[in-house]
Amino acid sequence: MTTWLQCDACSTRFDLLEPIARCRQCRGLLALASDLGPTDLARRFADQGSCSPALRRSGVWRFRDLILPEARDADVVSFPEGNTPQVQRARVAEWAGCRRLWLKHEGMNPTGSFKDRGMTVAVTHARRLGARAVACASTGNTSASLAAYAAHAGLLGVVLIPAGKTALGKLAQTVAYGATVLAIRGDFDACLDLVDQASERLGLYLVNSINPLRLAGQKSIVFELLEDRAWRAPDWIALPAGNLGNTSAFGAALQQAHALGLIDRIPRLAAVQAEGAAPFARSYREQFAQRYRVEADTVATAIRIGNPASHDRAVAAVRGTNGVVTMVSDQDILAAKREIDQAGVGCEPASAASVAGVRRLVREGTIGPDEDVVAVLTGHILKDPEILLRDRGDVVREIDPTLAAVEAAIASAGQR
């Protein structure tokens, strides 16, 4: 059994251990491919026989056979990650108009976003390759995750972020974990171009969302989500969509789970963009006839991306799952976030796009009110404290240090 890298565009194969970020022939994106037969894989996976007890505690490495069968226990750089909760909250379901709405909270990963699921695999691979440094361009969460896993692995971490455009929690984490942080005077798309060039020139191992190992790790969100439901597929899975790596990973995971017979039908994907950063939603409306590049602007910094790197793969994911792509306004994102936050769950703005998208799709009649829907919350509430206080700061009331003032304040709070 072997796993190799294969170009999406021209199908050229490369050895798994080649330290390349793109196809050498045509610069196309690379994916992991394996010759392991479906029945083999299903059997191996079912008994999880190849996983040590330590790895079984990771919500990523438990699924090693579906992700990177070659990873050796000794190479794995794991927190562990994953094992995130899937919860129901009446308040959020009611707001979205969808009775059977589940929230899968990926913000409960070690560094507070789903990025850890890809990073554990990518950094494991970087160490196996003997890389000295790992690098990425990021809107923030990838940086935080890279910084933490690089520290764990003893590698140098280098991150390129758009100057002044990164949520405070993410920047603070990245600095604290000890990465080298370069704030670029440009947008995310400029950072991505730069790090792409730098990785080739300076020999850094690139762990952007086009990295096939990261995408492979992110498939575990879907495997875990399905496993938690005893492999009974929901009708829909909704997620925020920015650079489209996760949309692509979800599509690949669903196809794989179906091909292996782990699920008997494929849930539909609902990819949700912010109105101010919706090149993919725009393309979808035209049956993907063209690809767009926009000047991105939204409060949801994690999806403020104008030229999504994984566009083609995400098209395949949407088509392959009979999925849809929609967009929601910043106002709707913040309204969804208020519901999620006040249900005691909480998430960062980009994550709330998934729930805002479900609401829109229910209102438009695309999602039925009785359908079974999982909305993925991608990041933790504390990632973006500035937005929280900008949007809800008026709730904090300063009063005199007297019992009378406390009593009056509580009485008026009760009336609201």
Ligand X SMILES: *Cc1c(COP(=O)(O)O)cnc(C)c1O
Beta-ladder partners of 350: none
**Number of residues this chain uses to bind ligand X (CB under 6 A):** 19
Q: How far is the CB of 16 from Zn ion (least distance, A)?
A: 16
Q: Which two tokens stand for residue 348?
A: 């960062």
State the binding partner of 10 from ligand X, Zn ion, none, CB within 5 to 8 A by kind.
Answer: Zn ion
Q: Does 245 bind ligand X (CB under 6 A)?
A: yes
244 binds ligand X (CB under 6 A): yes
Q: Which of 305, 242, 201, 249 is nearest to 32 (CA)?
A: 249
Using CB under 5 A, which of 28, 69, 186, 368 touches Zn ion? Answer: 28
Nearest approach, Cβ of 379 to ligand X (angstroms)? 3
CB of 345 to ligand X, least distance (A): 14
Tell me whether residue 153 or residue 377 sits nearer to ligand X (CB atom): 377
26 binds, among Zn ion, ligand X, none (CB under 5 to 8 A by kind): Zn ion
Region from 25-33, 140-148, 224-232, 311-319 binding Zn ion, contact rule CB under 5 A: 25-33
Binding pattern for the stretch 110-129 against ligand X, x by CB under 6 A and - elsewhere: ---x-x--------------
In one-letter notation, the amino acid at residue 158 is: V
CB 19 → Zn ion: shortest distance, Å? 17
- Interface with ligand X (CB under 6 A), residue from 30, 378, 384, 388: 378
Chosen from ligand X, Zn ion, none, partner binding at 349 (C-beta under 5 to 8 Å by type): none
Q: Which residues contact 172 (CB under 8 A, 6 or more apart)?
A: none
Q: Is 217 in the site for ligand X (CB under 6 A)?
A: no
Instruction: Sort 39 into a burial class: Cβ within 10 Å, 0-12 / 13-18 / 19+.
Output: exposed
Between residues 9 and 87, which has the closer beta carbon with respect to Zn ion?
A: 9
User: Please, what is the minimum distance in Å from the beta carbon of residue 72 to ligand X?
Assistant: 28
| Of 206 and 262, CB closest to Zn ion | 206
Query: Which residue, 41 or 317, has its beta carbon nearer to ligand X?
Result: 317
Mask: binding to ligand X, 351-370, rule CB under 6 A, as x and -? x-------------------
33/35 Cα distance (integer angstroms): 7
- The residue ranges that bind ligand X (CB under 6 A) are 113, 115, 141, 209, 240-247, 302-303, 348, 350-351, 378-379
- The residue ranges that bind Zn ion (CB under 5 A) are 7, 9-10, 12, 23, 25-26, 28
